[in-house]
Amino acid sequence: MSQWGRNGHVAVPGEGIRVDVGESWLEVLLRGAESDGQFGAFVFCHAPIAENPPHAHQDFAKVLYILDGRYEFRVGDATFSAGPGGLVLVPRGSQHAFTTATGGRVLFVCTPSGNEEMFLEIGALGPEPSPDQLARVSARFRTTALPGPEGVPWRPPQ
């Protein structure tokens, strides 16, 4: 290794790992194994999402950068909208949900890595995973649902 340090690399769209998730899909561009577990990154292409169950990731935080479309978010007790160029922080352990009436594309970067691996496992389950299969993946990646009446799928206030 030179004085410059370790080599980096570029991730090119279309050369990542595609994962189909219902009507949406994502492309994993960076896995934890490529960054000593520091980061994972993927672009998620969403169909319109009317509601989304709140959930929290206990082992990683996420930054979402909106590429296309308009999104509504709830992160903790904060609610806000974001469009192209908007940057959203989801702290580790914070309950969060989002919707999009337009569909769109979002770059997700998690630290440490893990979110990308969770979606790779979900994709490996096939086009219609059972609730039990999804629950096992969520448990393995310490992704928790909001309990009680607040755990119903979230919709932005009208």
Query: Domains in the chain, start-ordered, CATH in brackets?
Result: 17-146 (2.60.120.10)
Per-residue pLDDT, 150: 86
Task: Kindly tell me if the per-residue pLDDT of 158 is higher than 90.
Answer: no
3-state secondary structure of 64: strand
Q: What is the pLDDT of residues 50-103, one digit of tens each?
A: 999 999 999 999 999 999 999 999 999 999 999 999 999 999 999 999 999 999
With CA atoms as reference, report the closest residue to 95 among 111, 73, 71. Answer: 73
C-alpha separations of 25 from 91, 120, 146 in Å: 24, 11, 24
Long-range contacts of 148-151 (CB under 8 A, 24+ apart): 150/54, 151/53, 151/54
Round the average pLDDT of the chain to a whole number and report it. 94
Structure confidence at residue 84 (pLDDT): 98
Statement: residue 138 has pLDDT above 80: yes
Asked if the model's pLDDT at residue 157 lies above 90, the reply is: no
* Cis amide linkage into residue 112, ω under 30° from 0: yes
The 10s digit of each residue's pLDDT in 4-21 is 988 888 988 899 999 998
pLDDT of residue 6: 86
Query: Strand 96-99 relative to strand 71-75: parallel, antiparallel, unpaired?
Result: antiparallel
Read off the tokens for 108.
Answer: 């997700």
- State mean pLDDT over 97-125: 96
